[in-house]
């Protein structure tokens, strides 16, 4: 038997990861819902025009623009923030896994998890699709 005590048990880490995923989805869903309510309140009575396609506004294409839209209480920006939170949830799960493997001194899994995180980052930032 080892004289070293584990800081976290595997079950504790699994509970933390489960809670992170659960709360990430709940929070992002709530933000999207609130954004939808704001959008419907401001634009719910507008008539849709199908004669010309108008894409998303430019401020929704980058994070600073989205945050400015949230500060101005724009429904679309709030919805977009909820979607970003939903995307960030599994990334946060991978980061939490890295820290838990570091605490357990399981360096093989730290390396594997960092590779997974690198693949996710490359996929998101490169724009290379498949």
Tokens representing 47? 């008539």
For the whole model, what pTM was predicted? 0.80
41-71 pLDDT, tens digit each:
998 888 888 888 888 888 888 899 999 999 9
For residue 15, give Cα distances in angstroms to 31, 36, 44, 108.
Answer: 24, 31, 41, 22
Count the Cβ atoms, other than its own, within 10 Å of residue 11: 8
Residue 1 reports pLDDT greater than 50: no
């Amino acid at each position: 038997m080892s004289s070293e005590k584990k800081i976290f048990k595997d079950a504790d880490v699994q509970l933390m990861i489960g809670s992170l995923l659960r709360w990430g989805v709940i929070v992002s869903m709530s933000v999207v819902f609130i954004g939808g309510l704001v959008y419907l309140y401001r634009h719910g009575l507008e008539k849709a025009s199908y004669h010309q396609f108008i894409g998303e506004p430019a401020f929704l294409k980058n994070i600073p623009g989205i945050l400015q839209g949230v500060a101005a209480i724009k429904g679309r920006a709030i919805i977009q923030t909820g979607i970003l939170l939903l995307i960030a949830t599994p990334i946060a799960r991978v980061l939490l896994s890295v820290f838990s493997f570091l605490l357990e001194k399981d360096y093989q899994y730290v390396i594997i998890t960092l590779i997974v995180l690198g693949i996710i980052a490359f996929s998101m930032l490169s724009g290379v699709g498949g």
